Chain A
Amino acid sequence: MDFHQFIRKKRLELGLTLRKFCKQNSYDTGYISRLETGLFLPPNSERRLEKLANAYGIQKGTQDWVEFSNLSDVAKHQIPKEIDSRVINFLPAFFRKASKKEVKKADVEKLLKLIKGRQKK
Chain B
Amino acid sequence: MNVPFLTDGQIHLSADSFLQKYHHTLDIPVPIEEIIEQKLDIQILSIKGFESGCEVSGSLSKDFKTILIDEDEFERQIQRARFTLAHEVGHSVLHHQLFTQSGGFNDLDSFIKFQNNLIDKDYKKLEIQAYRFAEEIIFPREKLKKIIEEEVKVLGGLPSLNVNDLNSILSKICQEFDASERAVFNKIKRDYPNIIEIAESATSF
**A33 close to B111 (CB less than 8 A):** no
Query: Within the complex, what minimum Cβ distance (angstroms) separates B133 from chain A?
Result: 14
Measured between beta carbons, the chain A residues less than 8 angstroms from B45 are 33-34, 37, 39, 90, 115
Measured between beta carbons, the chain B residues less than 8 angstroms from A77 are none
Measured between beta carbons, the chain A residues less than 8 angstroms from B120 are 100
Query: Within the complex, what minimum Cβ distance (angstroms) separates A71 from chain B?
Result: 18
Produce 1/0 per residue, A81-106, CB < 8 A to B.
00000001111111111111011110
Q: Output the residue of B47, B50, B60, B120 with the most chain A CB within 10 A.
A: B47
**A93 close to B47 (CB less than 8 A):** no
Complex Cα spacing A98 to B50, Å: 12
Please report which residues of chain B, range 54-91, place their CB below 8 angstroms from some CB of chain A when the two chains form the complex: 54-56, 59-64, 66, 68, 71, 74-75, 78, 91
Measured between beta carbons, the chain A residues less than 8 angstroms from B33 are 17-19
User: Is B44 positioned at the interface, with any CB of A under 8 Å from its CB?
Assistant: yes
Chain B residue with Cβ nearest A118: B48
Measured between beta carbons, the chain A residues less than 8 angstroms from B108 are 88, 105, 108, 112
**B63 close to A89 (CB less than 8 A):** yes
Measured between beta carbons, the chain B residues less than 8 angstroms from A12 are 37-38
Produce 1/0 per residue, A15-38, CB < 8 A to B.
101110000000011100110110
Measured between beta carbons, the chain B residues less than 8 angstroms from A112 are 108
**B53 close to A29 (CB less than 8 A):** no
> Are A17 and B37 also in contact (CB < 8 A) when A36-B43, A93-B99 are?
yes
Measured between beta carbons, the chain B residues less than 8 angstroms from A17 are 33-34, 37-38
Query: Within the complex, what minimum Cβ distance (angstroms) separates B100 from chain A?
Result: 10
Complex Cα spacing A92 to B63, Å: 9
Measured between beta carbons, the chain A residues less than 8 angstroms from B126 are 94
Complex Cα spacing A20 to B53, Å: 26
Complex Cα spacing A103 to B78, Å: 29
> Are A89 and B47 also in contact (CB < 8 A) when A98-B55, A114-B54 are?
no
Q: Output the residue of A17, A93, A96, A114 with the most chain B CB within 10 A.
A: A93
Query: Within the complex, what minimum Cβ distance (angstroms) separates A82 from chain B?
Result: 17
User: Is B112 positioned at the interface, with any CB of A under 8 Å from its CB?
Assistant: yes
Chain B residue with Cβ nearest A17: B33
Query: Within the complex, what minimum Cβ distance (angstroms) separates B52 from chain A?
Result: 10
**B68 close to A115 (CB less than 8 A):** yes
User: Is A111 positioned at the interface, with any CB of B under 8 Å from its CB?
Assistant: yes
Task: Give which listed residue, A29, A88, A99, contacts B75 with CB less than 8 A.
Answer: A29
**A110 close to B62 (CB less than 8 A):** no
20 sample A-B contacts, Cβ–Cβ < 8 Å, listed by A number: A30-B71, A88-B106, A88-B108, A89-B61, A93-B61, A93-B62, A93-B104, A94-B91, A94-B99, A94-B118, A95-B59, A100-B120, A102-B116, A103-B111, A104-B112, A105-B112, A108-B108, A114-B48, A115-B68, A117-B47
The interface of chain A, by Cβ under 8 A from chain B, is 8, 12, 15, 17-19, 28-30, 33-34, 36-37, 39, 88-100, 102-105, 107-108, 110-112, 114-115, 117
